[in-house]
Amino acid sequence: MANGLFEGYGQVVPYLFVSAIVLYAIAGIVATINYKKERANDASPPPPPPPPPVQNNQQFVEVKPEQHVYIGSDFIRQLRENAGPAEPPKLHSPPPKPEPNIKFLGMRSIKVSLVANVPLQLCSFDEQADAEIECVVACFRNEPIFGKTIKPSRGVRASLRLFHASGAEIGVGLSRAFWLGQVVDVVDLVPGGDTECVILLLRDRGNVSIPAKTRRTTGAYTNIGEGFEELAEPPHSIEVSLLGADDQLLLAPLSLELGPPGDVLVYRVKQS
């Protein structure tokens, strides 16, 4: 009966035997591959340890309303020390106010003649080489300066004070001296303009005198007068002051020493 069961399958047995051999071969190959993988894993270095967890070191400070927190004060102080002192802001000053530049040019001994101005009822002394009146004058000019604005001086008058050799003053002085060649008692000293000379002393036929003018203003009218102060002998020195229309000194008073009557000896400048 058993023989009847497998009857008809005898021809399959060789194929089954071959299939079993193939399966055993495949199983051997797979076992060999797995073995080599395990050996390779055992020979490779162990993986690096995982990195340590990152810690957050940031600190939080609770600030109360009345507290002040300063950050980086040392750094700011170092910057200030390295920078040095701060420069003060530059202030732009206004341009200088123009001023006159009055210069004393020296003294001269000249000859003058008396010239009458009939319409004005005034007189002047004009330089004339063949005249008989000897005269001592002090000369001034408003000097220009390159690159600088010089202010003109208008309505300039000259006042005189006379002194003995002892230093005592003679009389009360003259507030308005004569200007050479001028009828009125004032002159204009403009930059680069004419030289103007103050008459200090006259000598006519041995008589020594100093001419002077006066000015009186009444309402809209101005009256100019003139006269002469007779001197027994020439003064030892004469102090000359120039004043502008505002009665302010234009330069320091000059003390001029005279020699024999009508002759110039020396002069010196004296600060007021």
pLDDT (tens digit, 9 = 90+) per residue, 189-217? 999 999 999 999 998 888 889 999 998 88
Residue 109 reports pLDDT greater than 80: yes
Q: Which two tokens stand for residue 152?
A: 């003109």
Query: Within a domain: residue 157?
Result: yes
pLDDT (tens digit, 9 = 90+) per residue, 36-64? 777 766 655 566 666 665 555 555 555 55
Query: Within a domain: residue 121?
Result: yes
What pLDDT is stored for residue 271 in this prediction? 45
Query: Within a domain: residue 141?
Result: yes
Query: Within a domain: residue 113?
Result: yes
pLDDT (tens digit, 9 = 90+) per residue, 3-17? 555 455 566 667 667
Distances from the Cα of 259 to the Cαs of 34, 134, 235, 236, 241, in angstroms?
142, 14, 9, 7, 20
Confidence of residue 30 (pLDDT cuts 50, 70, 90): confident
Which residues, in sequence order, are CB contacts of 233 under 8 Å at separation 6+? Answer: 208, 261
Mean pLDDT of the chain: 80
Confidence of residue 159 (pLDDT cuts 50, 70, 90): very high
Query: Within a domain: residue 23?
Result: no
Q: Phi and psi at residue 209, in whole multiples of 5°?
A: -155, 165
What pLDDT is stored for residue 231 in this prediction? 87
The boundaries of the domain holding residue 117 are 102-269
Query: Within a domain: residue 160?
Result: yes
The answer to whether residues 135 and 114 touch, using CB atoms and an 8 Å cutoff, is no
pLDDT (tens digit, 9 = 90+) per residue, 121-148? 899 999 999 999 999 999 999 999 999 9
Split into its structural domains, the chain has a count of: 1
pLDDT (tens digit, 9 = 90+) per residue, 161-200? 999 888 899 988 999 999 999 999 999 999 999 999 999 9
The answer to whether residues 105 and 140 touch, using CB atoms and an 8 Å cutoff, is yes
Query: Within a domain: residue 41?
Result: no
Confidence of residue 70 (pLDDT cuts 50, 70, 90): low
Query: Within a domain: residue 259?
Result: yes
